[in-house]
Every structure is written in structure tokens, then in C-alpha cells.
Amino acid sequence: MSLSEQAYQRVRQMIITLELAPGDVLRESDLQSRLKIGRTPIREALQRLAREHFVQVIPRRGMLVGGIDVAELSTLFETRSVLEPYAARLAAARGTDDHWQQMRDALERRPTNVAPSQMLRVDRRCHEIMWEAADNRFLLDPLDSLYAQSDRLWHLYLADVPDMDHAVTEHIEILEALERGDGDRAAHLVDKHIRSFDAAIREAVTAHLASPLAG
């Protein structure tokens, strides 16, 4: 992995998990010090993150961590609801026994009675395996970016989402459909999974905005 890719992955993860919060100023020198990576890879990473809407370039102010616009929730999830089921259909047709064993291992080894953020890692891994099984490189980056933005929303409103286990166990049914090569069933279940994800986020956002402490 190149230094630029390392910088990109690490800064993006910091943004997703809110270690770098919306509105934070991004200074190349600070990131160099924190990541022990040179200026050029950091700059390339920030430019890439700006193209993916994780970073916002403000004239005369520099670069800031991009905000999360609640009004764009519908756009985010309607895009996922088109691409993810399509990827599931491809995965059902092209996936191998090795892909499905990887997903089964991820599900069987998932931790119990842990923080929702840890369950999210299992959910993400299941999605990643399905994307890989779809074997379409033009889908990988858009799906990865969309999931990362969804992941960021979960971290922002995590306190309002007490239970993540259902989001992971839904993958058991998805896996069974993928193993059978049933693309229609897999696509239906993935669409249902995403809609459930969307509903939980909306409920959490509504609860947050209704709180007297919301500012």
C-alpha cells in the first residue's frame, strides 16, 4: 500500500469515527505529525477525500472536515438502494465458495454483548465480501464511499441506536441466498437491509433533533 493510500485510509477512518469532527480544520502539518507520513501523501489524500465529499475546501480558510447534511439522507440511501441490490445480483452469479466461507466466518466469529461500533465492523465486512464477489471494479469505489458516509452517520448518532445485532444477523439470510445463487432473493434482502438501516438512522436523527440538548 502506497503512503498516499495509507494516509487516505487513516484520515478517512478518523473522519468516519468522528475523531476528526465535522467542521474541524485540517492542517497538513498536524496530520503529518499525527500519522508520521510526509506532506505530499497527506495532500494527495486530502484532495481525494475532497472529491468524495469527506473534506470541504473553503477559499482563504483551507480544508475542513465536511459536514453531514441530514437533508441528504434520502439521496444517500436511494443511491445505495440501487447499487447494493445490483451488486448482490452480480455476487450471486459470480461469487465463489471461498467468498461465502469468508462471510460465514465473519458472521460466526462476530462478538456478542459488545459496542455497536464493533458490530458495524462485521456488517461492513459482509458488504465488502459481497462487493468483491460481484467482480465489477467500477462498483467498488462508489459502494465503499456510500457505505463510509452511512457509517459516519451511525457514529454521529450512535448513542441513539441501542442495538446493532439485527443489522448483522440479517446477513445470514443474505448469505444463504447468495450461496444458492438466487440473485432475486439476495437483491430483495439487501434492499430490505438497507431500508432498515435507513429507518434506524432516521429514527435516531429525529430523536436527536427532538432532544432539548440538541443545538
Q: State which amino acid sits at residue 189.
A: L
> Hunting for cell 441513539 — which residue is that?
160
**CATH class of this structure's domain 70-210:** mainly alpha
| Residues in CB range of 83: below 8 A, 6 or more apart | 139, 142, 143, 146
Question: Mean pLDDT, the chain, as a whole number?
Answer: 87
Backbone angles phi, psi at 175, to 5 degrees: -60, -45
Query: By the 8 A CB rule, do 101 and 59 touch?
Result: no
Alpha-carbon span 134 to 128, nearest angstrom: 10
What is the residue-wise DSSP string for 140-205? HHHHHHHHHHHHHHHHHTGGG----HHHHHHHHHHHHHHHHT-HHHHHHHHHHHHHHHHHHHHHHH
Characterize 161-171 residue by residue with b for buried, 16 or more Cβ atoms within 10 angstroms of its Cβ, and e for exposed.
Answer: beebeebbebb
What tens digit of pLDDT does each residue of 154-211 get? 887 765 555 667 778 899 999 999 999 999 999 999 999 999 888 877 887 777 666 6
- CATH: 1.10.10.10, 3.30.360.10, 3.40.50.2300, 2.40.70.10. Which one for 3-65? 1.10.10.10
What are the domain boundaries of the chain?
3-65, 70-210
C-alpha dihedral (47, 52, 54, 57), degrees to nearest 10: 50
Q: Rounded CA gap, 123 and 117, in Å?
A: 10
This prediction's pTM: 0.83
Please answer whether residues 186 and 89 qualify as being in contact, where contact means their C-beta atoms are separated by less than 8 angstroms. Answer: yes
Query: Is 59's pLDDT higher than 90?
Result: no
The pLDDT of residue 83: 97
Nearest to 126 by CA among 161, 177, 163, 79: 177
Distance (Å, whole) CA 70 – CA 73: 5
Instruction: With CA atoms as reference, report the closest residue to 127 among 50, 53, 197, 29.
Output: 197
Q: Residue 132 has which C-alpha cell?
A: 468483491
Q: Which three cell numbers stand for residue 202?
A: 432516521
Classify residue 72 by its DSSP letter: G
- Name the residue with higher pLDDT: 146 or 60: 146
Q: Report pLDDT digits (tens) over 37-47.
A: 999 999 999 99
